[in-house]
């Protein structure tokens, strides 16, 4: 090869390479504000060296296409954090609605549920009033009235919880068409990427796939597995395949025991999805754990009150001089509430069955018409361990506190997870988006922020500890 012609060849090749690189840079600038666009960098490939007069010379470079500056590990971490954040967001939304049911005077249609605490107090106080005047009809009516209010509010709360459970079930079912649309789109993109760019970054197609993955991560918990030829398989976190390269397995749904269950093929994956993350995971956690847990507590409360009150009323003598089943098993029962056969479902079914106030057994088994000993015992049930080892008031108070703590816990998780997502998005933007920050600067920012925040946390902890100790010693009233 002649020297001059080689030189011209080098010049020509370099100009072509620069021109191609320039177009990539121009594309980056043009897409600077495009959501999900990943910066591309030109790839340079050295040409084979040539021998001129016995000396090997390089022949410059050729631009061989563009590689997007993406980082799949970082993106996967971001997707995982989004799954957790989305799960806690949807769960928090459901928990807030549940908690609102138990807020006194909330003004909602189910506001009465929030009055259960005062209802319990009023109900047992009505026995105290009856104790003072055991033959008074108004006092007896007041007992039944207070019982009706308490039973109505508890069953309203249970109805509200069941309605909320169905609403969450609908939300969960509504996620599936979106999931299937996204897995279908990802499978299509896989096929395109594998056919057009099996050995390198597929640029815009990979951007689209990443955006779909990001959306999918907000809906359900998934694992990503890179496959040959730039492909991507997606499974649920428990390993059910949703996307395998160019094909997807849609999730189907069907009703099982009154709620929506989810299937891949014939496998029921509902339980797996509940713990997997994404908004679906949050909805299913609320539907299958949180709401049933609250309902179970309400059932225990209603079962405990109804069983204890009925048993005690049956142990006395009513105004007609007739004893309950505790006095004579052959007598008709003197139940104030319908007697639940089992704990489960007792809250929703709680009603007052006694219509005649004269059947309230204020008198003890040995007392006469004016005796109040059984009314006193009935009033005393308010302080007896009749509900899971606690008094009704203590049990309800503890239940409301636990619910509040659960909401606060999920709120804390949600705030922290969203903060983590924000951080990772910042990092990813620094790396992938078109801007002047480079990776090292982004990393330094993360390290500095962490160190400063750790310092703030440690000092604040010290201050709080000192302040609390000092506050105890020098408390000012």
Partner 1 sequence: MLQLRDGRFNPELKAVVVEASLALARLDADRLEELALSCQALNRDLSAWSGQERAEMARESRELTGEMAIFERVVEATRANLDVMSRLRQLHDGQREYGGSPRLRTSRRGPWGPTGDSDGNH
Helix (H) or strand (E) holding 50: strand 50-52
Least gap, CB of 92 to partner 1 (angstroms): 13
Reported as half-sphere exposure (CB side, CA atoms, 13 A), residue 78 has a value of: 19
Q: Which residues touch 366 (CB under 8 Å, ≥6 apart)? A: none
**By CB under 8 A, residue 460 contacts partner 1:** yes
CB closer to partner 1, 92 vs 381: 92
Distance CA 123, CA 379 (A): 9
Return the residues of window 314-343 that contact partner 1 according to CB under 8 A: none
Q: Alpha carbon of 195 to those of 43, 191, 323, 387, 457: distances in Å?
A: 20, 6, 87, 66, 52
CB closer to partner 1, 78 vs 269: 78
Instruction: Pick from 3, 289, 383, 449 the residue near partner 1 by CB under 8 A.
Output: 449
Determine the 3-state secondary structure of 183 from DSSP: helix
CB closer to partner 1, 1 vs 256: 1
CB closer to partner 1, 342 vs 475: 475
Give first-to-last CA distance, the chain, whole Å: 98
Return the residues of window 426-445 that contact partner 1 according to CB under 8 A: 426-427, 439, 443, 445
Interface pattern 385-414 for partner 1 (x via CB under 8 A): -----------------------x---xx-
**By CB under 8 A, residue 365 contacts partner 1:** no
Least gap, CB of 471 to partner 1 (angstroms): 2
Instruction: Pick from 8, 141, 416, 438 the residue near partner 1 by CB under 8 A.
Output: 416
- Please check whether residue 62 is in contact with residue 45, taking contact to mean a CB–CB distance below 8 angstroms: yes
CB closer to partner 1, 22 vs 463: 463
The number of residues that bind partner 1 (CB under 8 A) is 77
Determine the 3-state secondary structure of 57 from DSSP: strand
Q: Alpha carbon of 403 to those of 70, 159, 169, 172, 351: distances in Å?
A: 43, 18, 20, 22, 25
Count, residues in the chain? 477
**By CB under 8 A, residue 5 contacts partner 1:** no
**By CB under 8 A, residue 476 contacts partner 1:** yes
Return the residues of window 111-150 that contact partner 1 according to CB under 8 A: none
Return the residues of window 195-214 that contact partner 1 according to CB under 8 A: 199-201
Least gap, CB of 31 to partner 1 (angstroms): 19
Phi and psi at 339, nearest 5°, equal -80, 115
Instruction: Pick from 56, 96, 247, 254 the residue near partner 1 by CB under 8 A.
Output: 56
Least gap, CB of 6 to partner 1 (angstroms): 11
Return the residues of window 59-118 that contact partner 1 according to CB under 8 A: 59-61, 64, 67, 69-74, 77, 81
**For residue 236, what are the β-bridge partners?**
222
Interface pattern 21-50 for partner 1 (x via CB under 8 A): --------------------xxxxxx-xx-
Least gap, CB of 223 to partner 1 (angstroms): 14
**By CB under 8 A, residue 14 contacts partner 1:** yes
Return the residues of window 229-288 that contact partner 1 according to CB under 8 A: 230, 232
Least gap, CB of 46 to partner 1 (angstroms): 7
* Residue 424: CB atoms within 10 Å: 19
Distance CA 44, CA 428 (A): 24
Q: Please, is 376 exposed, middle or buried when counting C-beta atoms within 10 Å of its C-beta (0-12, 13-18, 19+)? A: middle
Distance CA 248, CA 59 (A): 47
CB closer to partner 1, 47 vs 122: 47
Distance CA 334, CA 315 (A): 9
CA dihedral 405, 407, 412, 416 (to 10 degrees): 150
Question: Of 24-32, 161-169, 264-272, 464-472, which segment contacts partner 1 by CB under 8 A?
Answer: 464-472
CB closer to partner 1, 32 vs 467: 467
CB closer to partner 1, 200 vs 365: 200
Distance CA 88, CA 456 (A): 26
**In the structure encoding, which two tokens stand for residue 474, read together?**
């020098």
CB closer to partner 1, 193 vs 361: 193
């Amino acid at each position: 090869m002649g020297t001059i012609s080689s030189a011209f060849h080098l010049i020509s090749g370099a100009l072509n390479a620069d021109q191609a690189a320039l177009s990539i840079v121009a594309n980056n600038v043009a897409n600077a504000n495009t959501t999900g666009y990943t910066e591309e960098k030109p790839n340079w490939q050295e040409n084979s060296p040539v021998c001129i007069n016995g000396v090997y010379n390089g022949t410059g470079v050729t631009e061989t296409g563009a590689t997007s500056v993406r980082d799949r590990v970082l993106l996967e971490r971001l997707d995982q954090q989004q799954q957790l954040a989305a799960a806690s967001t949807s769960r928090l939304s459901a928990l807030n609605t549940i908690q609102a049911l138990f807020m006194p005077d909330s003004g909602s249609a189910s506001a009465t549920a929030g009055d259960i605490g005062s209802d319990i107090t009023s109900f047992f106080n009505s026995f105290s009033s009856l104790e003072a005047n055991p033959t008074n009809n108004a006092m007896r009516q007041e007992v039944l009235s207070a019982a009706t209010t308490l039973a109505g509010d508890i069953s309203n709360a249970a109805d509200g919880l069941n309605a909320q459970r169905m609403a969450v079930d609908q939300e969960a079912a509504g996620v599936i068409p979106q999931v299937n649309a996204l897995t279908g789109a990802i499978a299509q993109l896989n096929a395109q990427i594998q056919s057009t760019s099996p050995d390198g970054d597929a640029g815009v197609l990979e951007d689209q796939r990443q955006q779909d993955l990001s959306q999918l991560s907000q809906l359900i918990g998934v694992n990503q597995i890179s496959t040959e030829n730039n492909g991507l398989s997606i499974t649920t976190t428990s390993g059910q395949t949703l996307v395998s390269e160019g094909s997807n397995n849609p999730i189907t749904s069907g009703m099982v025991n009154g709620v929506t269950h989810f299937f891949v093929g014939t496998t029921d994956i509902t339980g797996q999805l509940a713990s997997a993350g994404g908004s679906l995971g949050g909805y299913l956690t609320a539907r299958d754990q949180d709401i049933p847990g609250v309902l179970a507590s309400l059932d225990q409360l209603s079962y405990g009150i109804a069983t204890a009150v009925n048993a005690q009323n049956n142990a006395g003598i009513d105004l007609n001089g007739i004893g309950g089943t505790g006095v004579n098993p052959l007598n008709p029962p003197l139940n104030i509430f319908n007697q639940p056969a089992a704990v489960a479902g007792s809250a929703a079914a709680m009603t007052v069955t006694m219509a005649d106030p004269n059947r309230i057994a204020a008198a003890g088994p040995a007392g006469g018409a004016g005796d109040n000993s059984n009314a006193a015992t009935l009033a005393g049930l308010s302080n007896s361990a009749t509900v899971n080892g606690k008094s009704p008031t203590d049990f309800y108070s503890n239940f409301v506190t636990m619910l509040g703590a659960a909401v606060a816990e999920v709120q804390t998780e949600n705030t922290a997870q969203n903060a983590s997502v924000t951080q990772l998005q910042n990092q990813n933007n620094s790396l992938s988006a078109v801007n002047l920050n480079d990776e090292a600067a982004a990393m330094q920012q993360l390290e500095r922020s962490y160190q400063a925040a750790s310092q703030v946390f440690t000092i604040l902890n010290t201050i709080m500890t000192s302040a609390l100790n000092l506050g105890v010693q020098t408390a000012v009233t």
